[in-house]
Chain A
Amino acid sequence: MTSAITTTIVWMVVPLFLGFSGYLVPQLGRVFALSVALLSLGYGLGHIIEPSVLNWQLLDSFGVSLRVDSLSGYFIVTNALVTAAVVMYCWQQGKTAFFYAQVTLLHGSMNAIFICNDFISLYVALEVISIAVFLLIAYPRDDRSIWIGLRYLFISNTAMLFYLIGAVLVYQTSNSFAFAGLEGAPYEGLALIFLGLLTKGGVFVSGLWLPQTHAESETPVSALLSGVVVKAGIFPLVRLALLMEEVGWLLSLFAVGTAIVGVVYAIFEQDTKRLLAASTLSQMGFVLVAPTAAGLYALTHGLAKAALFLGVGNLPSRQFQELRRGVLPWWSWLAIAIPALSISGLPLVGGFAAKTITLDTLTGWQQIVMNVAAVGTAIAFAKLLFLPIQTKAISVQDNLPKKGKVAAMWWALLPLVGGLLLANSVYAYTLKSILKALLTLGIGWLIYGLMDRLGIWDQLRKFQLPRAVEQLEHLIGIMSLMLVLLFGMALA
C-alpha cells in the first residue's frame, strides 16, 4: 500500500518538476515531455492490468483525497499515448522549449484530474489546464490564434466561476469538498457544478465553443485538445455518475443530446478539421452515456481522434470540395482510414469493442437513439474514407521533399494506431455484435453513397448551419440557458 502511494506521488510530481526544468535545459524539453508520457503509460497500464482501488488522503482530515482505479488507468493511458504521439510529431519541427514545457505541464495536470477525488483539487487542475491550453493555442502568436485562445479562456473561466459557487454550496451542507458530499447537496449546487463540468467537457449545447477552438488550433494542439483535454471535464462527470444513481440518469439525457447534436454538425461540415471537432462533441456523448464502459471508450476515442487530427493535418487542403477534386497518396489515406474506421466501429479495430460494450449496457430508447448516432458517425466519416486515392506507386522524386514529414507522421501515429489495435476486448466479439456493427456501417455508407449519387452533398454545400451560436456572447449566454435547464432537471 505505502509503496503504491509513494509511486503515485512520484509519478504526480515528476511532470511538474520536469516541465519547469525544461526552461533551464531547453535542449532537453522534448526528451522530458516524452519521458513523462512513457512514465504515465507504465503507471496507467499497471492500473488497468491489476485493477486495485487505491483510496487515500494526504495529511489530515482537510487534506487532499485521491483515488486511483482502473477507470483512472484508462484515462491515464489515453493521456500518455496522445502526449507521446504529439511530442513525436513535433520532434523535428523546431518547437521551442516553451512549447514542450506547456505540453509537460498539461500532461501533469491532466493526470491530476484522473486521480483527484474532491472538488477543489479538480478546480485547481482544471484551471492549470486552461492556462496551459491557452498558451499552446496562442503559440503561433498571431492575432487569430490569440483570439481563439482568449475565447477559450473566457468561456472556461466563466464556467469555472459557476462551478466554484456550486462547490461552496456542497461544502456548506456536508462540511467537506469530497465528491461524495454531492449526495446531500442542494439542487443549486448540483446544477452549478454540472454547468461548469459540462461546459469544460464540451457536452450538448454548452459545448458549442468546441468546434472552432479545436479546428482552428495548430495540428498537434488540436490532437491534444480533442484527444485528452476534453476528457478533463468528462472524467469527473463519469466519476459522479458512478457515485450517484440519479446523477447518472440526468447525465445520460445530456449524453444522448450531445451525441445527436454533434453528429448532425459533423455531417453538415465542409471542412475536415471542423468535422473532426464536431465528432468529438458527439463522441463525448458515447463516453458519458454508459459510465461503466467509459474508460475503454475514452481510450479508443482519444487515440483515434488524435491520429485523425495528425493525419488530416498532412492533407493538401482542409475543404472536402478541393480534396475530392485531387487524389490522395495511399499512405496519407491509410493514416486517416484506420482511426476513421475505428470511430465508425469496424470489427478488428479498438473502437468496435468500445462501441459494442457501450451500446450493450444501454436499454430502451437510449439504445435506439445511440444506434442512430452510430449510423450518423458512419455517414460523417464516410466523407473522409471515400476520398479519391492514388493507387499507383508514386515516383521517387515526388516523394522526396515530403519524406521527412511523412516519416514523422507515421512515427507519431505508431503509438496511436498500435494502441487502437491492441485495445480490442475479446468479450465484444460475438456473432451478433459483429453483424450489428457491419450493419451499422453498411447503412451509414449506403446513405452516404445514395446522397453522393443524388448530388445531395453538392446541394448541402450551399447550405450552412448557422455559425452565429459560436460567437462569444452567445456561447456565454447559452450557459445561462443551460443553468436554467439544469435547475429544472435537478428539481424534477
Chain B
Amino acid sequence: MCETCGCTITPGNEHLVRKDGKLEHTSGGRASIEVLTGLLQENDHQAAHNREHFERHEVLAINLMSSPGSGKTALLEATIEAIGEEFSIAVVEGDLETENDAERIRAKGVPAVQITTGQACHLDAHMVHDALHEMDLDDIDILFIENVGNLVCPASFDLGHHINVTLLSVTEGDDKPAKYPVMFRAADVMLLTKSDLLDVLDDFDTAKAERHLRELANPAKVMTLSARRSQTLEAWLDWLRQSVEARRSGKEMNPSMQPDGVHQQHPA
C-alpha cells in the first residue's frame, strides 16, 4: 500500500475518507489530523526495498503459500530436480521451528536460508530482508520464498516478491478458495497438488476448485500436478521458464495483493 501517491484511495472509497482540510478542529478542542496511510506501511516500505534488490540482481522472486502439508517443499524438490541445471535456484524457508525444510533443499544442492519465526504465523518483508543478507543473489535466477504453512495471515504481507503461487492439495477439499477468500484472492497462480491421489479421492473436483477461485474475481492460472509424477510438472516448468524470461525482459511484475487502486489483473 502506497502512501506516496495515495493509490489506496480509489474512486470507490474516496468519498468515505476525504475531508475538506488536512487539519481540522473537533468540537472538543482536539486537533484532528487526517493521515490516510495503509496500516502495513512499514512492511510495504521494506517490501519495496526487497523488490528493488531482486530487480537489481535480476532475480524472479516467487512466494509460495498454502496450508501446512500441501507439498510446498516436495514441489521445490521436484522443481530443482527438473530444472536445477537450467536455472540457478535459491530458497528462503519459513517455519515456526526447525531447519528441516532448508536441509531438504540443501540436499538437492541448492542454497537455502531457514527463517524460524517462533510463534509468528507468517513471513513479513523484514524477515525476508534479513534472510537476504545471508544469501548471494548475484547468480540466482529464481528465488522461492516458502511461506509459513497457513491459509490466513501470509496473504496480508507483501514480501517484495513478484508472484504469489498458492498451493491447494487435493486432500484438502475443493472448497478451500471459498473458505479462505483473502488468501486465494491473492493468488497469481493456483496449483492443485498431489494429483496422483485424485484416483483414490472421490470428493475433490478440480473444476469446482477452479470455479470457487473465479468467484473471487481471480483470473489466476490453475495447474494440476504431482511432485511424485514428473510428467505432470511440464506446464508448471514451462510457466516458470516464461516467468524468468518476463523478469529478464524487465517486465514489471507485482503480486496481485497490491491495493485495489493499482490492482493488476493477471491474464489467465
Chains A and B come from one and the same complex? no
Residues of A whose CB lies within 8 Å of any CB of B are: none
